[in-house]
Amino acid sequence: MPKTKTAILLIIALFALTACTSKSPADTATGTEDPAVESTAEAVDSAAPASDECLNCHTDKQRLIDTAAPEPPAETESKGVG
Amino acid sequence: MAPLEPWEKVLVDAEKFLPTDHGQIACVDCHGGVPLPDKDAAHEGLIASPSSEPEKYCGGECHGEQTATYPFALHSTQQGYWTALDTRGGNIPENHPVLEEMFGNHCATCHTTCGECHVAQPQNVGGGLFTGHVFETTPPMTRSCTACHGSRVGNEFLGKNEGIPGDVHFREARMNCIKCHEGADLHGTATDATTTEANRFAGMESPQCVDCHEEAVPGGDENPMHQVHGDKLSCQVCHSVTYTSCDGCHVAVSETSGNPFFETEATYQTFLIGRNPIQSEERPYAYVPVRHVPVAADAYEHYGDNLLPDFNALPTWVYSTPHNIQKNTPQNASCEACHGGNASIFLTADKVKPEEMDANLSVIVEALPPAVTIEQALNAPAMPADHLEHISDACTACHTKGIRNAPLSPENHAAYRDENCSGCHKLEQ
């Protein structure tokens, strides 16, 4: 039994050490990086559809100018302070 | 506020919006429609304002707490309008359909959705995204709050009435509306229609000035004015200045365009102190500033005759909380500004239109505050605690004749009226 226990402990220790060394320094957040921003950006990348036709148009100022239905000038027949 | 161009109203700022929580949600999940390049095809089934159904689109795990109460909050129900309409209208069932038609044409545009505070300008000022579809926790004051509450509260708070300074909270501290009117107040607390508030002055006074100015309660500081007046006058009596009143609003539907319109007869600046028409445990003040609201007995005559048969059931000079607070005002500059016959700042009968006299009997000041010094006020003998049951303003009945061994009031009190007494003779604690 003691040998078995020792073997199990060695295997666990090996896994733990492997986990520690697998993270390169480049993966570690630096003092100038905001982890929240980074994780949000990643989430956007994964959540945003490859091609979102709604956004394609609604983020394109010129396309909106070209396609927006003109609104008639607001003429009110009201008089006085509302 | 300049109107936005049509394209400007719907331009999404991807850089700002997409990193936000709402930017993680696919457009069609809230707005419906079809993700196609052609505009008309894409807008098939479009839901322009998802928060018109707050529980469906905003509630659940995200904003469930707010959407549980908001459908019953005043910005959503507009119950304040109906409380006044039903009271002046006598709550006559056969008149309700036509009043509902009138309400739908002229009043319902003030109904507010979640989105009209948090992501876009209200529809009744033309709509349009605030910041490229970014949801704002704090509604931008001039594009949201005062876009609707502009002609009175907004102009007063921001100092847009010529010659009258803006509210000190804005001028000196750049406070916005939400600093006092917190989310919980605006999102409401009622959870069903039966507990919807009757109007904005129903129930607890919230916010209260003393929420921040804790020392201003009677006995809370050395200011003798707070000691003497703290329980008789609302804070605005001493700390607000001239504000806007309006007369004679009439509504109709245009015969030429078919559009609803209104016409007000007059808008003018006033500062008038009246008796508190809604005195209660929560608002115990005897005197408050009163503002003339533009209701008229024939305001809805376009829709039918005599739709406000109980017009006199509510005053036309109403409880008011002007949003132009100042530390120093003309009326708090000296005792004589109010005491000693200065009728100009009180709503006396001569300032009320004859046809509105009956409606305003509860508000009109009959007896002006007598001449008194601060020493007299502070040193006046306390009213015995057992007089609590007598506080029906009948002091002189005993104190001018010595009935029941009541001490006789001095000669210099001859001009005083019953309602003046408790101003100095505070009830013994």
DSSP string, B70-103: GGGSHHHH-HHHHHHHHHHTTT-GGGHHHHHHHH
Q: Quick one: pLDDT at residue B219?
A: 78
Sign of CA dihedral B385, B389, B395, B401: negative
Q: Quick one: pLDDT at residue A19?
A: 41
**A76: which chain B residues are within 8 Å (Cβ-Cβ)?**
259, 261
User: How many A×B Cβ pairs under 8 Å?
Assistant: 88
Say which amino acid occupies A55: L
Q: Quick one: pLDDT at residue A74?
A: 73
Confidence of residue A5 (pLDDT cuts 50, 70, 90): low
Nearest CA-CA partner of B190 in B65, B53, B69: B69
Q: Quick one: pLDDT at residue B391?
A: 56
Question: Pick from A37, A58, A81: which is nearest to B10 by CB?
Answer: A58
Distance from CA of B407 to the nearest CA of A (A): 54
Q: Which tens digit of pLDDT belongs to each residue from B89-144? A: 999 999 999 999 999 999 999 999 999 999 999 999 999 999 999 999 999 999 99
Q: Quick one: pLDDT at residue B21?
A: 96
The β-bridge partners of B292 are B317
Q: Note whether A80 contacts B18, CB cutoff 8 Å.
A: no
Sign of CA dihedral B155, B156, B159, B162: positive
Q: Quick one: pLDDT at residue B393?
A: 66
**A54: which chain B residues are within 8 Å (Cβ-Cβ)?**
27-28, 31, 33, 35, 42
Coil, strand or helix: which one is B384?
Answer: coil
Other beta carbons less than 10 A from residue A80's beta carbon: 17
Q: Which tens digit of pLDDT belongs to each residue from A8-64? A: 655 554 444 444 333 333 333 333 334 333 344 444 444 444 458 999 999 999 999
Contact B56, B177 (CB under 8 A): no
Instruction: Tell me which of A2 and B240 has the higher pLDDT.
Output: B240
Q: Cα B33 vs. chain centroid, distance in angstroms?
A: 40
Q: Is B264 on the interface with A (CB under 8 A)?
A: yes
Question: Pick from A65, A76, A81: which is nearest to B246 by CB?
Answer: A81
Q: pTM of this prediction?
A: 0.83
Name the stretches of chain B with pLDDT < 50. Answer: none
Q: Quick one: pLDDT at residue A11?
A: 55
Contact B1, B141 (CB under 8 A): no
Q: Note whether B31 contacts A54, CB cutoff 8 Å.
A: yes
Q: Note whether B264 contacts A52, CB cutoff 8 Å.
A: no
Question: Pick from A44, A53, A58: which is nearest to B24 by CB?
Answer: A44
Say which amino acid occupies B401: K
How are the residues of chain B apportioned to helix, strand and coil, as percentages rounded to the nearest 5? 40, 10, 50
First to last CA, chain B: 53
Q: Quick one: pLDDT at residue B41?
A: 96
